Every structure is written in C-alpha cells, then in structure tokens.
Amino acid sequence: MAAQRDDGAENGVTDATLLEAVAARSPRSLEEFYDRFSRRAYSLARRVCVDEALAEDVLQEVFLLVWRQPDRYDPARGTVAVWLMTLVHHRAVDAVRREATRRRHTVPPGEEGDEWLPPAPGADDAALDAVVAGHVRRALGSLPTEQREALTLSYFGGFTQREVASIAGIPLGTVKSRMFTAVRTLRGLLEGHVDRGDRSAGEGSS
C-alpha cells in the first residue's frame, strides 16, 4: 500500500495502520476494523436504504470488499473513514436503485410502501414518537436526492461538510447550499406536524 495518511486512532492504532494490518492478513485485523467502523457504516446504510435487511447486505458487501481489496484505499484522497463511508454510500445507493427496479416489476400498484409503516406501539409516548418519525421520514423522502444525501451523510453519518464534499465529489460550497436548502425545506414540511403533535401532548397533560 502507499504511504498511509494519519487519521483516527483507537488504543494507539490509527485507522490507516489497522487497514494496513488487514492488507497483511494479520490475525483479527478485519474483526477489529469491523468493530471500529460497523456502527457508523450501518447507520449510514440504514438511513440510505431504510430497509434493515438491505442495509445489512450493504454492510456485508463493503467489509468483504475491504478484506479482498484493501489496496483500493488511496490516502491521497482522504482518510480511511471517509473512504469506507464513500463505499457504504455508493453501495447503499446502488442497492436502493436495484430494489426500486425490482419493486416496479413485482409490486402491484397501490401496495408499494405499505411495508414501511412502523408497527403501532402500545404506549402513548411511543405512538407519538412513531408519528413524528413517520413525518420526518416522509419529509426526507420528499427532498431531491442530492439534498437528502447531503443531510444523510452529515447528520446521520457524522461527517463534516468538507468530508461530505469529498464523499460526494462536489465543491464544499455546493454541499453548504444543498444542506441549507434541505433544512429550510424540512422545517417548512415538519412545522405543521411535529409542533401540532407536541401541543396536543401538552394539552392532554394539563
């Protein structure tokens, strides 16, 4: 592998050093790499894919790729974390597109989307949370793809705007513009739902 770029470290071992160990097939190196990144990777895949099983498939594909081709990492293009999350993001988007194509050919009109509805919880607070979460998911789904991806990478993937720009391959100014527009749109879409739900809950407790 090329000279490694220094990045995040845990227990004195940088991400780049750990990836080097994976490339050298060191014992438990892939397991340690998985433990370090799997939570963030799954969170990003889950937000993009929505479906848990699809996100798990993406996670498996990505870490299998890391094991088979660790030399694909180019330190000149960013940190190991950014490289890995770029893989997750691209694989997740591809998985969603494949699933959408499959559904168009197999799901009868009028039934699509039914399986995404959350089960009705018993507690009132949980029910309100589910309603709010449903509004948020629908609002996110109404955003243009590029705006939704920028928000997903930043808020759910935990990346800075500069890292989002690197992952998406777009200028930093474009990322800022997309996120500003997306947040403003989301606020407008959610104001009539979340606020009203909060007021109703407050009136019921008085």
Instruction: Tell me, yes or no, whether 39 and 56 share the same domain.
Output: yes
**pLDDT mean over 80-89:** 88
Q: Strand, coil or helix: what is 13?
A: strand
Structural domain span for residue 152: 121-206
Residue 99 · residue 58 · CB < 8 Å: no
Amino acid, single-letter form, for residue 158:
G
Residue 130 · residue 118 · CB < 8 Å: yes
CA distance 64 to 40: 16
Instruction: Tell me, yes or no, whether 106 and 15 share the same domain.
Output: yes
Residues 109-146: b if buried by 16+ CB within 10 A, e if exposed: eeeeeeeeeeeeeeeeeeebeeeeeebeeebbeebeee
What is the gyration radius of the CA atoms in the chain, in angstroms? 20
Answer yes or no: is pLDDT of 111 > 60: no
Greatest mean pLDDT range, 10-19, 101-110, 137-146: 10-19
Residue 47 · residue 156 · CB < 8 Å: yes
Q: Which of 78, 99, 116 is the last residue of a domain?
A: 116
Model confidence pLDDT, tens digit, residues 14-69: 999 999 999 999 999 999 999 999 998 998 888 888 889 999 999 999 999 999 99
CATH code at 143? 1.10.10.10
